[in-house]
Structure formats: structure tokens, C-alpha cells
Amino acid sequence: MAIGFKQREFLLAVEGLTVSFDGFKAVNDLSFYVDENEIRVIIGPNGAGKTTVLDLICGKTEATSGSIQFRGKELTKMNENEIVLAGVGRKFQTPSIYDDLTVFENLEISYPRGRTVWGALAFKRDAAVRERVEAVAEMIFLKDRLDTSAELLSHGQKQWLEIGMLLIQDPDLLMLDEPVAGMSVSERVKTAELLHRIIKDRSVLVIEHDMKFVEDIAHKVTVLHQGQILSEGSMEKVKSDPKVIEVYLGH
């Protein structure tokens, strides 16, 4: 299978990552690696530091120590927008969309062109933009709502819209924070179907509580507890780990 001894390159390498808020270590000496095209799910009880890990990767929170390497680039030294340009996309836990803009405009803003002030002034809504927006809108089940103001969408549709905004960015690493939380059963099924389609050709880091959903999509699961890794591996391995059962799954 492998020819030669080329060192294995990870897409994302988190090493010794620590962040402390007034002495409280929300993430404590955390290390994990994500491969190209891998779907990694992070689970863990409330307050385990899951969202903080995503915040650290996308630059929202500054690390106290440790490193985050993405394709050989050190993310801890970069601005949020530079991290996005490097290829990391992030979906927030509560749908984070622009209520006062239409669905089309929401998607258009994420189109990866004209991101500087002058670029945005000169930006033209050409055929390429329109096709891409329409294609993504179809994927996220909102093709006939393009001219609707985003605030009129249902909760589930808002979640899809934000996922769509990330798809337009076409990131190499997609980070999703509880993508099915608060969704109805039918919306959940549709979202799972949507995620299965969009996780091709990219790596995905997902935080999720819905174990059925996790089992369905995860290649590998990382269990966090008090800012540290409790267990890591396939879903079967993690599920049978007594430590995990005690702090998380047992409840």
C-alpha cells in the first residue's frame, strides 16, 4: 500500500494545546490529529471544552500554549480571517446568519471573492456567483427561498443556510458545532443526508450529542472530559471504554 517511508502528513495537528481562563484550564494539554478526508466527531459531557477547541482552531479564542498546525501552517499566530483563507470553515452552535439579508445575499457574502474593502466595492454578481449560489441553495433545500429574508426561515432552515454559507467557502476543514441540535426528526434526517453529501473531499470536525447521528457519520471519535482526551478511536472502541461509560454514556 505505502510506497517508501514518506512521513504521514496530517491535515490538522493539535499538540499540547492549553487554554486557561483565570487559572481554569478549559483545555488542558490536548493533542489530536485529523487526517485528510476524515470525519472526526468530538463528544463529551457539558463543559468538557468541546466548543473551546473549535474556538481555538478558528482563532476565536487565543491559546495559552501549544500549537495547531493546519497543512504545516501555525494557526495560533494567525487572524481569524487568515485562518478562513487558509481553508478552515466554522459553523456556530446557534444558527449564525444575517437576518436582514435574503438567503441569496447570505450565501453570496460567503462566496470566496472580493473579501477586501475595495474588492467588495468592485464585486460583481456574475454568472459564476449566481450558479454557485443556486447550486448550494439546492443542496441545502432552499432553492425556492433565495429571495426570502433569512429571518423568516425556520430554525432548521437557518442551520442549513449556515451550512450552505460554509459550503460556498469550500473549506478543506469544516468544523460543525452541534449541527442537528434543536431540529425536528424530519429535519434531522435531511441534515444527516446533507452532511453525508458535503463531507466528501474534505475533513470534518463535528461536535454532537446525538449518538445515533455520531455513529452514522463518524470515522473516529474523540471523547473529551475536563479539557483532556478521555478516549479516542472507532465508535465501537469508545462505546465499550469503561471510562467513557462512567463519565458520559452511562447517564
Query: Which positions touch another protein (CB under 8 A)?
Result: 58, 60, 79-81, 84-85, 89-90, 92, 96-102, 104-106, 108-110, 112, 114-117, 120-123, 125, 130, 146-147, 149-152, 162, 165, 169
- Minimum distance between the CB of residue 178 and another protein, rounded to whole angstroms? 16
* CA 226 to the chain's CA centroid: 21
Residue 106: CB minimum distance to another protein, A: 8
CB nearer to another protein: give 20 or 149: 149
> How far lies 78's CA from each of 32, 46, 51, 66, 69, in Å?
20, 28, 19, 14, 11
Query: For residues 25 and 115, which CB has a smaller minimum distance to another protein in the complex?
Result: 115
Residue 201: C-alpha distances to residues 32, 35, 82, 161, 214 (Å): 21, 12, 22, 20, 19
Amino acid at 188: R
| Distance (Å, whole) CA 222 – CA 205 | 10
The pairing of strands 220-225 and 228-233 is antiparallel
- Find the shortest distance in angstroms from Cβ 5 to another protein: 37
Least distance in Å: CB of 160 to another protein? 15
Q: Which C-beta is closer to another protein: that of 20 or that of 148?
A: 148
In the bound state with another protein, the residue whose beta carbon lies nearer, of 110 and 159, is 110
